[in-house]
Amino acid sequence: MKVLAAMSGGVDSAVAAARAVEAGHEVVGVHLALSRNSGTLRTGSRGCCTIEDSMDAQRAANILGIPYYVWDFSEKFKTDVVDDFIAEYQAGRTPNPCMRCNERIKFAALLEKALALGFDAVCTGHYASLLTDEFGNLELHRSNEMAKDQSYVLGVLTAEQLKHSMFPLGATASKNDIRREANERGLSVANKPDSYDICFIPEGDTQDWLSEKVGKAPGQIVDREGNVLGDHQGTHEFTVGQRKGLSIGRPAADGKPRYVLEISPKTNTVIVGPQAALAINEMFGTRYTWCGSAPAETDNWSEILVQVRAHGDAIEAEFKVDSGQMRIRVKQPLLGVAPGQTAVLYLGTRVLGQTTIDRTVSAVPVSAGSEV
Amino acid sequence: MAIYLDHAATTPLRPQVIEGYLAQLQVLGNPSSVHSQGQKARQVVEDARDQVAKAVDCHRSEVLFTSGGTEGDNLAIKGLYLDAVKRDPQRKVVLTAGTEHHAGIDPVEWLEQSEGAQVVWLPVDEHGVVDLVTLSEYLDEHGRSVALISLMWVNNETGLITPIAEITRLAAKHGVPVHSDAVAAFGHVPVSFNQSGLATMAISGHKFGAPVGTGALIVARDAKLAITSHGGGQERGIRSGTLSAPLALALGASAALAVAELEQVSGRLEVLAQKLKNSIVGIAPDAIFTRGEHDGFAGIVHFTFPGCSGDSLLFLLDSAGVSVSTGSACRAGVAQASHVLIAMGRTEDEARGSLRISLGYTTTEEDVDAFIAAFPDAYAGAKKAGLPSK
């Protein structure tokens, strides 16, 4: 196969490319230029957008003996990932930009371009496994290495996208094994630190970065009964479940800390309450996709596992599709789920599909007040 | 063997130069040393200086050996500005254009940010032609506040020729020195420093068959430059640093060869470029020849292809064994949308659809035919892949 290996300059994608080469594919390395003005480490940029990262990727491609190019997706990345991230926060939601990037850049814009230019597949260094069911349909599964499993952020992939995807790291081992393998292959990226935060936010401080982008919009912090408890400088500075940074003068009646329960950009208010009130028992989403074959039955409640954040646990739940809307009911109340987050459905280790959460239903009715 | 059509990036080392260059690499001696071995090395450098002076048509004392075009541009632009403003604090304006190479733009922006310079970006039309009426009017009105004008002789992306003599004539009325980046010009179009009226002019060896790492800054005897790079005082104190006899030798010999065969080569390239242009337009009728009908260096054939991404074209041609360029500056391989085309009023999407095919002294008709053979499939594929912003 003609394989395009997306190379970030990190160790995972380098080893993934190496394995694709070893499997006998005709591999071309491509680094995605995502930042409008590529900074260098010197100017404080970090993550996957620096010139140094691009050079690391190029060096890895050289060692593997494969051609290497840089393709510029910065414009699309800005509109589809960065601007979307800002707009989501402004709308009071908590987006996952890595997921957007997979959905719209890596497995959309990049994949489409790759197919048009004669490639058969895009290969990445994600920790996830592609398996085939008894009928030959592709299924996305968790990586064997649960600690590094990244199937969650790939939950947005459709059957068509899976057909042209390749995750050579999925079936293997631990991150340490990947580093050892990189070292043995003479890849200098072997000991590069893992990337964590959001790649386009320079110092890793999301709230500061957002404030700079959207400016201040002072409003009120209220409790669930509507009592005004304090002021805020913009709803984008808050996410559901947040405890720190709430400038509330008076303590709660019970003396316990208060958490952000809800953000209402429409009224520019932040609603706070006790931790117990963060619990939700149902989620709704209209933007849902199936990862691989769609389930045969969606009209009635079916047992699944649901995961709502990249490094969270999957918990028992049931789902059904109700007039174009996915409903997910969790067996145990779930804390701190914000609209905008993605709920990924699993059947065992298999990724079934995903939805962006539009709204949640609190497990604690307002009337329960602060007694909970 | 890949077909090489990226001569504007770098052109092959001249075979006639290699032997002398390699021999000189093995000769011991610092040209600044006083002993005989040093003097022998010095003689090699001074012979080369004569050759360069003859090739660019200037006095031998006006030739300063540098490491290449970027260094020359930096020494000249910063040196001219800092000296002008020191003599007359009113002269803070730098006149230049957005279509310059980064080696011309970035020093000017540095002067703006760090030295309080005021930069006036001269308007250019859709073909990149600098508006001389605006320049003339600006000089008439504010001539006394201008420190220098910096405009390149031939644009490295589009091949467009800027009428340097007209610019220096306007500038002379106001005592304004003019610098020109002639990196894409020298060895390719007729260049006479004496007749140009320039204060300073930068050339780069590897664009005309010398090795990478050598070039010259031509500094008129009466030009006044502040020293911006300090050291042992070589090259009139403007470019300190130990001189390389082998590199100087290669630069001088290549310059002489390039000028000697300029007429014959450019006549040949004219014919090849025309063939190339005809076949490109035949396959991609909406392709736009970037510099229009304006004078240019025949060896640079630059097109924009609506709805195509230049890096797709480049990738597919490269896969077919043809080396070309998108023309725009690369930063560690990250192709930026060409700032030159943006300055010409093109949108970012238009700028991204650019391809530069550049021919040089070794280009043959077979090379051009190989491009023509590979282009239809590459164009169809790139068209299908579309633009990254869509």
What is the three-class DSSP state of A229?
Answer: strand
Query: Does residue A199 form part of some domain?
Result: no
Query: Does residue B4 form part of some domain?
Result: no
pLDDT of residue B165: 97
Query: Does residue B99 form part of some domain?
Result: yes
Identify the domain boundary among A225, A260, A276.
A276
Catalytic choice (B27, B172, B330, B373) = B330
Q: What is the distance in angstroms between the Cα of B311 and the nearest Cα belonging to chain A? A: 7
* Inter-chain residue contact A38 with B332, CB threshold 8 Å: yes
pLDDT of residue B336: 67
The mean pLDDT of B78-100, rounded to a whole number, is 97
B183 and B200 share one domain: yes
Comparing CA positions, the residue from A201, A168, A2, A220 lying closest to residue A98 is A201
- Which residue of B315, B335, B337 is in closest CB contact with A117? B315
Query: Does residue A197 form part of some domain?
Result: no
Provide the CATH number for the domain around residue B238.
3.40.640.10
Phi, psi at B233, each rounded to 5°: 85, 15
B348 and B358 share one domain: yes
Task: Assess A42–B contact: CB distance below 8 Å, yes or no.
Answer: no
pLDDT of residue A117: 95
Identify the domain boundary among B198, B232, B260.
B260
A312 and A355 share one domain: yes
Comparing CA positions, the residue from B222, B178, B224 lying closest to residue B201 is B178
Task: Assess B87–A contact: CB distance below 8 Å, yes or no.
Answer: no
Task: Assess A26–B contact: CB distance below 8 Å, yes or no.
Answer: no
pLDDT at B58 over 70: yes
* Inter-chain residue contact A79 with B337, CB threshold 8 Å: no
pLDDT of residue A266: 86
Identify the domain boundary among A247, A276, A305.
A276
A247 and A283 share one domain: no
Query: Does residue A198 form part of some domain?
Result: no
B295 and B241 share one domain: no
B287 and B377 share one domain: yes
Instruction: Point out which residues pair with B215 in neighbouring strands.
Output: B66, B204
Task: Assess A284–B contact: CB distance below 8 Å, yes or no.
Answer: no
Interface predicted TM-score (ipTM) of this complex, two decimals: 0.84
Give the total number of structural domains in chain B.
2
Work out the angle at residue B335's Cα, subtended by the Cα atoms of residues B334 and B337, and round it to the nearest 5 degrees: 135
* Inter-chain residue contact B381 with A113, CB threshold 8 Å: no
Identify the domain boundary among B216, B245, B260.
B260
Q: Which residue has the higher pLDDT, B83 or A248?
A: B83
Task: Assess A33–B contact: CB distance below 8 Å, yes or no.
Answer: yes
A11 and A150 share one domain: yes
- Tokens (6 digits) for B93: 């304006």
Per-residue pLDDT tens digits for B323-357: 999 987 665 456 667 889 999 999 888 888 999 99
* Inter-chain residue contact A70 with B335, CB threshold 8 Å: yes
* Inter-chain residue contact B315 with A69, CB threshold 8 Å: yes
A48 and A128 share one domain: yes
- Which residue of A33, A68, A116 is in closest CB contact with B334? A33
> Domain of A291?
279-371
Provide the CATH number for the domain around residue A365.
2.40.30.10
pLDDT of residue A42: 39
Per-residue pLDDT tens digits for B183-205: 999 999 999 999 999 999 999 99
* Inter-chain residue contact A72 with B385, CB threshold 8 Å: no
Nearest CA in chain A to B331: A51
Query: Which residues of chain A lie closer than 8 angstroms to B348, CB-CB?
Result: 75
CB neighbours of residue A220 within 10 Å: 16
Query: Does residue A156 form part of some domain?
Result: yes
Strand pairing report for B200-204 and A258-264: unpaired
Query: Does residue B310 form part of some domain?
Result: yes
Nearest CA in chain B to A75: B389
* Inter-chain residue contact A51 with B384, CB threshold 8 Å: no
Q: In whole angstroms, what is the distance from residue A97 CA to residue A85 CA?
A: 6
pLDDT of residue B329: 63
Comparing CA positions, the residue from B211, B242, B251, B231 lying closest to residue B63 is B251
A239 and A104 share one domain: no
Query: Which residues of chain A lie closer than 8 angstroms to B321, CB-CB?
Result: none
Task: Assess B133–A contact: CB distance below 8 Å, yes or no.
Answer: no
pLDDT of residue A173: 67
Provide the CATH number for the domain around residue A240.
2.30.30.280
B269 and B238 share one domain: no
pLDDT of residue A176: 86
Identify the domain boundary among B230, B260, B290.
B260
Task: Assess A55–B contact: CB distance below 8 Å, yes or no.
Answer: yes
A271 and A300 share one domain: no
Query: Does residue B130 form part of some domain?
Result: yes
A230 and A96 share one domain: no
Buried b (16+ CB within 10 A) or exposed e, A180-207: ebbeebebebbebeeeeebbbbbeeebb
Task: Assess B377–A contact: CB distance below 8 Å, yes or no.
Answer: no
Task: Assess B350–A contact: CB distance below 8 Å, yes or no.
Answer: no
Q: In whole angstroms, what is the distance from residue A184 CA to residue A190 CA?
A: 9
Task: Tell me the C-alpha to C-alpha distance, in Å, between residue B336 and each of A8, A165, B172.
Answer: 18, 28, 36
B290 and B182 share one domain: no
The per-type count for chain B, helices as H runs and strands as E runs, is 13, 14
Query: Does residue B103 form part of some domain?
Result: yes
A187 and A96 share one domain: yes
pLDDT of residue A41: 41
Provide the CATH number for the domain around residue A90.
3.40.50.620
Tens place of pLDDT per residue across chain A (372 aa)? 999 999 999 999 999 999 999 999 999 999 998 876 554 443 444 444 577 888 899 999 999 999 999 888 888 899 999 999 999 888 888 888 988 999 899 999 999 999 999 999 999 999 999 999 999 999 999 998 777 899 999 999 999 999 999 999 987 768 888 999 999 999 988 888 777 678 888 766 788 888 888 888 899 999 888 888 888 988 888 888 888 777 776 667 777 888 999 898 888 999 998 888 889 999 999 999 999 999 988 999 999 999 998 888 899 999 999 989 999 999 999 988 989 999 999 999 999 999 999 999 988 766 544 433
A82 and A183 share one domain: yes
Query: Does residue A201 form part of some domain?
Result: no
A221 and A334 share one domain: no
Query: Does residue A238 form part of some domain?
Result: yes
- Tokens (6 digits) for B203: 């050339």
A257 and A288 share one domain: no
* Inter-chain residue contact B311 with A73, CB threshold 8 Å: no
> Domain of B296?
262-385
Q: Which of A42, A113, A122 to mutate to test the interface with B (most CBs of B within 10 A)?
A: A113
* Inter-chain residue contact A69 with B384, CB threshold 8 Å: no
Identify the domain boundary among A236, A259, A276.
A276
Query: Does residue A205 form part of some domain?
Result: no
Task: Assess A118–B contact: CB distance below 8 Å, yes or no.
Answer: yes
Per mean pLDDT, which range of A69-73, B138-142, B199-203, B254-258 is the poorest? Answer: A69-73
pLDDT of residue A371: 39
B104 and B149 share one domain: yes
* pTM for the predicted model, two decimal places: 0.86
Is B308 marked active-site?
A: no
Q: In whole angstroms, what is the distance from residue A239 CA to residue A232 CA?
A: 13
* Inter-chain residue contact B388 with A117, CB threshold 8 Å: no
Query: Does residue B3 form part of some domain?
Result: no
CA B361, B367, B372, B374: dihedral to nearest 10 degrees?
A: -130
The mean pLDDT of B131-146, rounded to a whole number, is 97
B364 and B292 share one domain: yes
pLDDT of residue A40: 44
Query: Which residues of chain B lie closer than 8 angstroms to A113, CB-CB?
Result: 309, 312, 385-386, 388
Buried b (16+ CB within 10 A) or exposed e, A121-138: bbbbbbbbbbeeeeeeeb
Residue ranges of alpha helices (H) inside A83-203 are 83-90, 97-101, 110-116, 159-163, 175-184
Q: Kind and range of the H or E element at A81?
A: none
B229 and B269 share one domain: no
Catalytic residues of A: 101, 199
B169 and B273 share one domain: no
Q: Residue B354 in contact with residue B285, Cβ under 8 Å?
A: no
B135 and B188 share one domain: yes
Q: Kind and range of the H or E element at B289?
A: strand B288-289
Q: Kind and range of the H or E element at A199?
A: none
Q: In whole angstroms, what is the distance from residue A194 CA to residue A189 CA?
A: 11
Query: Does residue A320 form part of some domain?
Result: yes
Give the total number of structural domains in chain A.
3
Q: In whole angstroms, what is the distance from residue A328 CA to residue A321 CA?
A: 9
Contacts of A11 by beta carbon, 8 Å cutoff, 6+ apart: A125, A178, A179, A182, A187, A189, A190, A191, A192
B204 and B269 share one domain: no
A240 and A360 share one domain: no
